[in-house]
Structure 1
């Protein structure tokens, strides 16, 4: 398990498999658990985000929680070719982990106490969500997805362990 995040009536769980010695992360999964139902004695089962695409780990992605609307906000950059990226934002219902509707990210400028707030729009409605994490190796290098596997391993080793892959 990599992370547990509070999300109103829910807990967001983020897990992945890491092979020791291989420095490779696989099978990333996000799921939610309704803790409010669990507190009143109901049986709850984690709902997995089945449409999560591991290739999002190649780019810059942001995960945020809109507690007012019970939604997970996933904003990411999609490589469209010719060294260009396009921003996409998708909302997921925390109860069902199904896609609700596309949205448009506006920015990440507001800081409330110790939380970075993401501003986004659904249609013409302006909304806010608490950013809970950055995922994607694009945060290490702007052109991560364009690097060879050897270059990615070298960058990972250098950045995470303070040494080179040799």
Structure 2
């Protein structure tokens, strides 16, 4: 399976992974009627914009037949005022490909880019009910803050994690 930088031609496939992953990841966390209304076309437009934007770093994971089964994006959020830091803005893998080490490989690829950019702290925001938060914790991220937010009328808790040490991600011998 290949990991490579995303191109605008990947926007539709990324949008499909994004919508399908939201529907499985956030089922019973975010109201299902909201998830049912997610649009592949709107997400495609979002990903064309994201891929085209300077400072965004997006990588895709292809399976053996060249289909995109996961992606990661990162850069620096406009709200991030911490010097020499970046943000993991999304990572989604189709449910049937989860648990195969793809998340670690995608995270490693992005963290290598962040290392190139001399980012010393890396942040990620995740809903408390999202089990992927345990993935981040397994690779050394620590909760530094929580916020109450609303999505589709649902009151949720957003956790903000930080990595000050990327060794658990970048060490090739650390397989989890």
**TM-score scaled to structure 1, two decimals?**
0.28
Structure of greater Rg = 1
Using CA pairs under 8 Å that are at least 6 residues apart, name the structure with larger relative contact order, 1 or 2. Answer: 2
**TM-score scaled to structure 2, two decimals?**
0.27
Q: Which has the higher helix share?
A: 2
Q: Which has the higher strand share?
A: 1
